[in-house]
Structure 1
């Protein structure tokens, strides 16, 4: 009987099989956005068991387990690691047609060589086999990444981070580049408790007395220089929508001073400040030739009862229905008209925004840059077979698929990298079906080159990661 995850999984035509096996399969991985803990990569300590490497922190799995009615103690509670694994194994058979079903079995076979279907019948055996392998040096965090042919992995880092773990990796002989990404939520969320404390810490780190917007921008510039010296070439922003409110420097100074004095501000003033700070950040990114990533649209932290027990990242977020087009157009245009628009990737969480984002990306181009503003890969709830197909088809119809920078994991799991394989198989299957239907010319060499570009070459060119990391003396 044919294995479930076999060599031609998801590949429906001979054309698709040729494209995948000859052009996509062996491409290195540039994972330009993930949430892997860099300290665990630097420490390189083996995981004790499968629960710790595979289930802890994985809110995708948590949501599925909760949907099945499993008690929270077996998800994030005080059950033993083995009990938690067995409950996940109990969940998997009921997850058929959910992407977790595919990912689970791809990860078992790609990392551990286990081609059995995970279920209560096989759980104890699989847990034992995988735990034994996790004891080997081949299964340390660094070797898990290296074994997946990762070339560059970009983590997500706070602007105040000292990047000591990144520095340790940079000075080691580890061949995979682990680079930071600038994620300045604390600088943007002026309405949140702790904003003024965050600016106080920024002031201490940079020796800049932050009293107005200009001094804030000066301090941010110092941190951007610091991140750049450590190989950072991307920023990342998680927002409900872009911010394109009109503002004047005097207005932003007044708003910022009110918050520094501990006073409240209005919703309109919040939007004006966020518009101003995002514009300032965009200008700084453009000067460094960084790529700005905008993850737009989710509604977060909806279940307060769960949050009160577990904390943030509990798996109680969903797709939001915010209006996107007008805010996004104004924001991008404001930067572009001043020649300060950095290379940008737009990710939407709501599938109804697919065409909006694909066409918006095409409004802003740059000479000598392929798709300066990118319609990014299917994200979060859309990162599944149908969602990936929709993103690829809409980008093809309304932009240039051939210029796409491809896939990323956006994951906290060291076992998530077969998602690149999943994307590549779906991509090759779409192109293979077009070849079979006569919608593309039978020029395998050219179409194969396009596949290689989407899965690797475009990203390498777009991000322009440093080829050699140098120790640079910068103010910390």
Structure 2
């Protein structure tokens, strides 16, 4: 019987153990996509208790609790922090097979030194232990980051953001972690949203110009891109229903823009044409600057209208979508390539059925501009569990060049999420170890360790062009 979460957790072969402990374990972390708040990093916030740092804003945990029938009062409602923690502990104790069971216990061990099991019977002792640790030296936001051996963080930032906290962090020589903004212009693109006119007014103020046309919108975004570049930004991120390719001439796009300004909501065809024009323009800007374009798609968001009205977006009511036409993804990238405007790009689909399509599309646009110029992004959101990570790794290895993969990210709002990188690295070494022991790959440990270290850290550093403060 193998012990739970011991030193060799997930490492089921001698080869896997050797690769993890000698090549992966001590590599720094590059978290090139997350949702941490840069203001909290600058202010070096501290938390009164584990609920605040662990459950606040974590819709993974919220979904799990709701599935177990926990009333919303104990999820996002007005119950006390202790009551919310107790409910989560009770639910987690029975969450066999859910990645939260592994993540939560890894976090308790790595940050708080708790070697036991969290459930309804141990909730009290974990609450006391974790809260005492949180009040001790080194358990602030920055301390948790440094405890995790983080090299670089990229937050997710709107074009209208002032980036004041990034500016302060860049000037702070006492904090050895690079914190950079990442450009997320979804609000400028999503003209079908009722809030779009209000957002355009915010963007006008940030860019210092009137936006009365699509050409004006592109000019305003160009100004803001320059502003982000001056603050060290090297990558964008887009949340799409799917990668749209619906080309239209400039006059038609201007007409769609004008009608929206006048109050007419676009139909599906007009929306697709506008978003395609928007993404083509943005991609050309990224290519000019040497930035990386990240495309996250395959998610249907805010499915429960009742909770959306009362709680708003990003509260745990999203699901996998099956609308991701590979023909349009390939056509979009092809149109950019034809114009000489295709930047380094990372494709993430929330639907694992898209793995093979992504991995074959990659091969159509690779060249010597970069190792893995077009990337298959790490198993994302509902897929960053054991099976999802294994499927993504094996698909990329079978159809592409796994050795050039830029590896894991947290995609998290919590400062305690960094053990997800450990989880990923252990799974990576497990896959490699199984291939070695099955005779699929030789015991060439020099090469294997180089690949593991590259995927764990070095590939991302080179691909994005990050420079360490350390």
TM-score by length of 2: 0.98
For residue 370 of structure 1, what is the aligned residue in structure 2?
371
Q: CA deviation at 1:263?
A: 2.8
Q: Paired residues, what number? A: 469
Q: What is the aligned partner in structure 2 of residue 449 from structure 1?
A: 450
Give the conservation status (yes or no) of the 8 Å contact 1:46–1:137. no
Q: Does 1:382 align with 2:388?
A: no
Q: Is the 8 A contact 2:461 2:467 kept in 1?
A: no
Task: State the partner residue of 2:398.
Answer: 397
Report the 3-state secondary structure (helix = DSSP H, G, I; strand = E; otherwise coil) of the residue aligned with 2:138.
helix
Per-residue CA shift, 1:61-107, capped at 9, x if unaligned? 11111111111101111110000000001001211111011011100
Looking at structure 2, the residues matched to 268 and 313 of structure 1 have their Cα atoms a distance apart, in angstroms, of 26
Whether the aligned pair in 2 keeps the contact of 1:3 and 1:115 (CA below 8 Å) is: no
Cα distance in structure 2, aligned partners of 1:364 and 1:151: 30
C-alpha separation between the residues in 2 aligned to 1:203 and 1:309? Answer: 30
Question: Does 2:13 match 1:16?
Answer: no
Residues 16 and 468 of structure 1, relative CA distance in 2, 3 Å threshold: closer
Quick one: distance in 2 between partners of 1:239 and 1:349?
A: 11
Residues 363-372 or 290-299, more deviating: 363-372
Offset of 1:308 from its aligned partner? 2.4
Task: Tell me the residue number matched to 1:473.
Answer: none
8 Å contact from structure 2 (residues 50, 127) kept in 1: yes
Indicate how the Cα distance of structure 1 residues 284 and 59 shifts in structure 2: closer, same or farther if over 3 A, else same.
same
Q: Is the 8 A contact 1:53 1:414 kept in 2?
A: yes
Alpha carbons 1:362, 1:371 under 8 Å: kept? no
Q: Match for residue 120 of structure 1?
A: 120
Does residue 108 (structure 1) correspond to residue 76 (structure 2)? The answer is no
1:56 Cα shift? 1.0
Residue number in structure 1 paired with 2:348: 347
Give yes or no for the alignment of 1:308 onto 2:314.
no
The residue correspondences of 1:158-177 to structure 2 (distance < 5 A) are 158-173=158-173, 174-177=175-178
Aligned to 1:474: none
**Map of 2:97 onto structure 1:** 97
Deviation readout 1:211-269 (Å, 9 max, x if unpaired)? 22222111101100111111111100111101100210111111111112223333211
For residues 221 and 410 of structure 2, what CA distance do their matches in structure 1 show? 28
Over 3 Å off, 4+ runs: 466-469
Larger mean Cα displacement after TM superposition, 139-148 or 356-365: 356-365
Matched, 1:206 2:238: no
Residues 468 and 251 of structure 1: CA distance in aligned 2, closer, same or farther (over 3 Å): farther
Matches within 5 A, 1:41-440: 41-173=41-173, 174-440=175-441
Deviation readout 1:30-80 (Å, 9 max, x if unpaired): 010001111111111211100000011111111111111111101111110
Q: TM-score, normalised by structure 1?
A: 0.96
Alignment-derived partner of residue 4 in structure 2: 4
Indicate the SS of the match to 2:93.
Answer: helix
Contact 1:76 1:310 in 2 (8 A): no
Listed one character per residue, the Cα deviations across residues 95-146 of structure 1 (whole Å, up to 9, x for unaligned) are: 1111011011100000111011001111100100000000123110011011
Q: 1:35 to 1:375 in 2, by over 3 A?
A: same
Structure 1 window deviating more from structure 2 (5-14 vs 305-314): it is 305-314
Preserved contact between residue 178 and residue 469 of structure 2 (Cα < 8 Å):
no
Aligned mates of 1:312, 1:335 — CA distance in 2: 32
SS in 2 for 1:158: coil
Structure 2: how far apart are the matches of 1:254 and 1:106? 53
SS at match of 1:153: strand
- Structure 2 distance, partners of 1:349, 1:265, is 26
Q: Distance in 2 between matches of 1:266 and 1:121?
A: 54
- Look up the SS of the partner of 1:139 in the other structure: coil
How far 1:360 sits from its partner (Å)?
Answer: 1.1
Instruction: Structure 2: give runs of 5+ residues left out of the alignment.
Output: none
Unaligned runs of 5+ in 1: 470-476
SS of the equivalent of 1:95 reads coil
Distance 1:264 1:67 in 2: 36
Q: 2:2, 2:143 → 1: CA distance?
A: 30
Structure 2 partner of 1:472? none
Secondary structure in structure 2 of the residue aligned to 1:137: coil
Contact 1:402/1:454, CA 8 A, preserved across alignment: yes
SS at match of 1:62: helix
Is the 2:177–2:469 Cα contact (8 Å) retained in structure 1? Answer: no
Distance 2:53 2:3 in 1: 25
Q: CA deviation at 1:2?
A: 7.2
In 2, the alpha carbon distance for the partners of 1:312 and 1:114 equals 34
1:324 Cα offset (Å): 2.4
